Amino acid sequence: MNQPPANPARFIAIQKVRRNEPLTAQDLAELERIFIEAAVAAPEDLERVRNDGGLGIFVRSLVGLDREAAKHAFDQFQCERTLSANQIEFLNMVIDYLTERGVMDPRLLYESPFTDFDAMGVEGVFDNAGVVELIGILEEVRRRAAA
């Protein structure tokens, strides 16, 4: 018979990471406890993770971003403009990346496979305002994981 988790709140912190919800200090403390209690990280490992971008970003890189949360992050971006088929495909590729890896460095928008759409990457697919907004969304997704 399956036993319920001893402390279901700890799983709430992980779900917040997956759903792109902002993390609190309490959430981060609970994530640390999960790693330590599961004996997958020592306190010094967690300190190194904190210095390399933060525990929330590290966890997000492991569990990814929920597909609906990734799509939702781009809702307004899509509503503000009429997208071409190439732009939709490009945006779907960004969403796929976030779903798998959780966060995305905007510099990747200028590398393959994004340069397969245009040699200039994102700048060849969207106008300047679109590029700025798209990068802003990626930074916000990262910020929410960083807490």
User: 10 Å Cβ neighbour count for 42?
Assistant: 11
Residue 46 CA: distances (Å) to CA of 40, 64, 107 = 10, 19, 27
pLDDT category of residue 71 using cuts at 50, 70 and 90: very high
Q: Which residue has the higher pLDDT, 119 or 48?
A: 119
Q: What whole-number distance in Å separates Cα of residue 73 and Cα of residue 106?
A: 15
Mean pLDDT of all residues in 137-143: 95
Identify whether 113 is preceded by a cis peptide bond (ω within 30 of 0): yes
- DSSP character for 117? T
Which pLDDT tens digit goes with each residue over 76-119? Answer: 999 999 999 999 999 999 999 999 999 999 999 999 999 999 99
What one-letter code names the amino acid at 31?
L
Q: pLDDT value at position 3?
A: 40
Q: What is the mean pLDDT of the chain?
A: 88
**What pLDDT is attached to residue 19?**
95
What pLDDT, on a 0 to 100 scale, did the predictor assign at position 7?
54
Among residues of the chain, what percentage have pLDDT more than 90? Answer: 60
Segment 25-41, tens digit of pLDDT = 898 888 888 877 777 77
